[in-house]
Amino acid sequence: MSQDHQDAAPGKHVLLVWDAPNLDMGLGAILGGRPTAAHRPRFDALGRWLLNFTAELTALEAPGQRELLEPEATVFTNIAHGSADVVRPWVEALRNVGFAVFAKPKIDDDSDVDSDMLDHIALRHQGPGLAGLVVASADGQAFREPLELIAAAGIPVQVIGFREHASWAVSSSLLSFVDLEDIPGVFREPLPRVSLDSLPDEGAWLQPFRPLSALLNSR
């Protein structure tokens, strides 16, 4: 990322980073296709959850040293060629709720936003004011080690995702995990989730995480 989207606000803050490509893929796998309006995450509900989480961390500040913590949330996303007009209303809705957006053109497999998210987290961690971190992603390969290092330094770290896809966070002794569907109001209707631990007697279809054609682009 050539430059951070904004300077950190003075004072302590709680940072949320939303990995849109990863969570979109996970949600699509659960639904078996593109989400309808009933199954698209409501970012106003996510924002209220972040405000409550920030208030909880504020209450844990030592008496006499307590100061109001400020939440800061950014959605990281790729924009495929020709999709700007389709994505623009979503981006504007996010900004109206109070989320910043980092958007990057999707040119090839190397133009994802993982490095930009990690740079953003590292920049905030290097500053003096990071009081809490929330990362919404199931990408353990990218996030597990840096998040556990931050948690080991004494900063509370939450991972938001789908428990089916984030066993690395669920099982971590350093990270706290919150299933996205457990956040009040994020989905208008329950997700049609299938667990291998609780399969129906008649069986269930488990959809692929990506099409087979993706193999042609990964050579």
User: What predicted TM-score, i.e. pTM, was given to this entire model?
Assistant: 0.85
Per-residue confidence (pLDDT) for residue 199, from 0 to 100: 79
pLDDT band (50, 70, 90) for residue 2: very low
Q: Which DSSP string corresponds to 46-109?
A: HHHHHHHHHHHHHHTSPTTT----EEEEEEEEEEETT-HHHHHHHHHHHHHHT-EEEEEEE-ST
- What's the distance, CA 52 to chain centroid? 17
Per-residue confidence (pLDDT) for residue 167, from 0 to 100: 93
Q: What is the dihedral of CA 34, 161, 70, 2, to 10 degrees?
A: -70
pLDDT higher than 80, residue 21: yes
In 3D space, the residue among 201, 204, 168, 219 whose CA is nearest the CA of residue 22 turns out to be 168
Pick the CATH number of 16-194+204-212 from 3.10.450.50, 3.40.50.1220, 3.40.50.1010, 1.10.3430.10: 3.40.50.1010
- pLDDT per residue as tens digits for the range 31-79: 888 888 889 999 999 999 999 999 999 888 767 667 789 999 999 999 9
| Residue 124 token pair | 């905030």
C-alpha to C-alpha distance for 111 and 7, rounded to whole angstroms: 24
Residue that wins the pLDDT comparison between 132 and 62: 132
Average pLDDT over residues 10-32: 90
Per-residue confidence (pLDDT) for residue 3, from 0 to 100: 47
Q: List phi, psi (to 5°) of 103.
A: -115, 135
Q: List phi, psi (to 5°) of 187.
A: -120, 140
- The domain segmentation of the chain, as residue ranges, is 16-194+204-212
C-alpha to C-alpha distance for 13 and 123, rounded to whole angstroms: 13
* Residue for token pair 């504020």: 58
Integer distance in angstroms from the first to the last C-alpha of the chain?
26
